[in-house]
Structure 1
Amino acid sequence: MTRTPIRLAVAAGAALLVAGCSDDGTGTSTTTTTRTATATQSAPAYTGELPERPAAGAPVDCSYTPDGGAAKDVAPPQESGVTTAGSPAVTMSTSAGPIGLTLDPAAAPCTVNSFVSLAGQGYFDDTPCHRLVTSPGLQVLQCGDPSGTGRGGPGYGFDTEYPETAYAPTDPTLSQAVVYPRGTVAMANTGQPGSNGSQFFLVYADSQLPPAYTIFGTIDEAGLATIEKVAAAGDDGSMGSVGGGAPNLPVQIESVTVTS
């Protein structure tokens, strides 16, 4: 299976996600989808604020659905009794400098569970951060694809969590952008249900996106300094109209260590 590229783009001052058309390996093309951050007449006044973050509660069950070949062989995470408590610390060593994260299982237990599982199996080790975006309104470094193509994943997918789950499915504000603050770490996806995998993005300046990208942690100041150094060198523009490209200052994740 060839995975749809996971891309965040900026157009006309608003953020959108574009999932390109690709062959799934059986000769069938996937459907091109576009999710835009546009207001509707029935939507409330735009504030840009994220909804209230969930509090920790009872353990939850998660579902990780096989979706084709993995970019690097790994076992799927456990699915039952996943904790919503704690704040695991992540030490990410990269060729550009250290990036520290604090994960948030209360907001995104299934996402944190997957990230911790992948990190423990060495999935992120010796992999590139393949995309940098420096556009006004979207300033992120995207990582988590061992193939470096924007198509790679762990061989399974799972559903979006906070902030999308803080809204009713028919809430018109789901089509409006919210501010993903500087220092946020969130999951990339294709716009299709269940398309979260291993790719994540690191927000180094406030960015506007629909609330469709799971927020699962924060970046420390040393990590932000590392990312800002990469951003200052710019990108090669290879992503074209969807925005950004490979960082001119390459970022190779050397190792990822998680401690409770």
Structure 2
Amino acid sequence: MTSTRERQRAAAKARLEKEMRERAEQARRRRRTRNLVAGGAVLLLVVAGGVWAIVALNDDSGKKNTAANAGTAQCTWTPLPAQAKTPQIKDVGVPPTSVPKTGTDVMTIDTGLGPIKAKVDRAATPCTAASFEYLASKNFWNNTKCHRLVTQGIQVLQCGDPSATGKGYRQTDGQGGPGYQYAEENLPTDKRPAYPAGVIAMAKTQAPNSTGSQFFIVYGDSQLDPSYTVLGTITQGMDLVQQVAKAGDDGAFAAQAGGGHPKKEVLIKSITMAQS
């Protein structure tokens, strides 16, 4: 038979082994919990990184699209109806509908009297500038004449009719244009005078959205209604326009719109647009 002391030692040993087993189990549980937490954290970081990458890529793409859209304008070119396409209309198609609206261009009007240059801000007149660039690429104004000079009331030299060609003037000079029209831009509604000397602006009919290819150079402050697109500012050649104005006009349009054909002929050899 076992003694009481032996039984006590056996019980103590059993308790110690049980305690050691429990501690080992607790240690294993703690390690498992730590591993699960660590794994979850890694997974969370991976997921978060993926989400961030997607958001960043989308954001970058959005910024690029926004930047691209910020640099372009959408233009509407309205073709003339068939009955309006008279012999004075020079149909060379239409410009692109999506055009740049940043930067500045230098427009050069090469005339028989010398060059006339103007600064054109594409941000202010993207569609008008695009139309000029397109028509210039088609040699639209080559060998045409400025057909109208006004010296009373308003002081302008008007050009841009593709049918104003030949040795003399015709009754139809001033009725020509491209095969499309478009809306007015950059109207000087808050300027006084609206059209000061040195401005180059677009001619049109009394109807809205009727801008075409004809333009006028203002050589003296003019109190015109602010419904004509301001294309740009003359930077060279105003002295040539002043010479033409000084020579006067023949009064051919006095009974209608005023003025007449300039007595000093202005032959446009070509018009070019170039980025400055």
2:132–2:273 Cα contact (<8 Å) kept: no
Q: 1:71 aligns with which of 86, 89, 94?
A: 89
For the pair 1:217 / 2:217, whether they are aligned, the reply is: no
1:141–1:203 Cα contact (<8 Å) kept: yes
State the AA in 1 paired with 2:139. G
Q: 1:146 aligns with which of 162, 177, 182?
A: 162
**Matching residue of 1:250:** 265
**Matching residue of 1:231:** 245
Deviations 1:76-128 (A, max 9, x none): 10012x21111111221111221111112111111111011101110011111
Q: 1:153 to 1:177 in 2, by over 3 A?
A: farther
Segments of 5+ residues of structure 1 without an aligned counterpart are 1-56, 168-175
For the pair 1:162 / 2:186, whether they are aligned, the reply is: yes
* TM-score normalised to structure 1 length: 0.70
Segments of 5+ residues of structure 2 without an aligned counterpart are 1-69, 165-172
State the identity as a percent.
Answer: 47
For the pair 1:118 / 2:122, whether they are aligned, the reply is: no
Question: How far off its partner does 1:75 sit?
Answer: 2.1
Question: How far off its partner does 1:74 sit?
Answer: 1.3
* Number of residue-to-residue matches in the alignment: 192
Q: 2:150 aligns with which of 127, 133, 152?
A: 133
2:193–2:221 Cα contact (<8 Å) kept: no
For the pair 1:208 / 2:223, whether they are aligned, the reply is: yes
Deviations 1:49-90 (A, max 9, x none): xxxxxxxx542100010114363241210012x211111112
**Matching residue of 1:62:** 75
CA distance in 1, matches of 2:116, 2:249: 19
CA distance in 1, matches of 2:192, 2:258: 17
Q: 2:213 aligns with which of 198, 206, 211?
A: 198
Deviations 1:226-259 (A, max 9, x none): 1001111000000023211000001110111221
Deviations 1:190-210 (A, max 9, x none): 010221000000111111111
Q: Which moved more, 1:106-115 or 1:61-70?
A: 61-70
Deviation beyond 3 Å, 4+ runs, structure 1: none
Greater length-normalized contact order (CA 8 Å, ≥ 6 residues apart): 1
CA distance in 2, matches of 1:62, 1:194: 12
SS in 2 for 1:227: helix
State the AA in 1 paired with 2:242. E
1:96–1:230 Cα contact (<8 Å) kept: no
SS in 1 for 2:134: helix
CA distance in 2, matches of 1:208, 1:119: 30
State the AA in 2 paired with 1:200. F
State the AA in 2 paired with 1:199. Q
Question: How far off its partner does 1:177 sit?
Answer: 7.5
1:60–1:83 Cα contact (<8 Å) kept: yes
* TM-score normalised to structure 2 length: 0.66
CA distance in 2, matches of 1:85, 1:177: 26
- Structure showing the higher helix proportion among its residues: 2
For the pair 1:105 / 2:125, whether they are aligned, the reply is: no
State the AA in 2 paired with 1:112. A
CA distance in 2, matches of 1:254, 1:243: 26
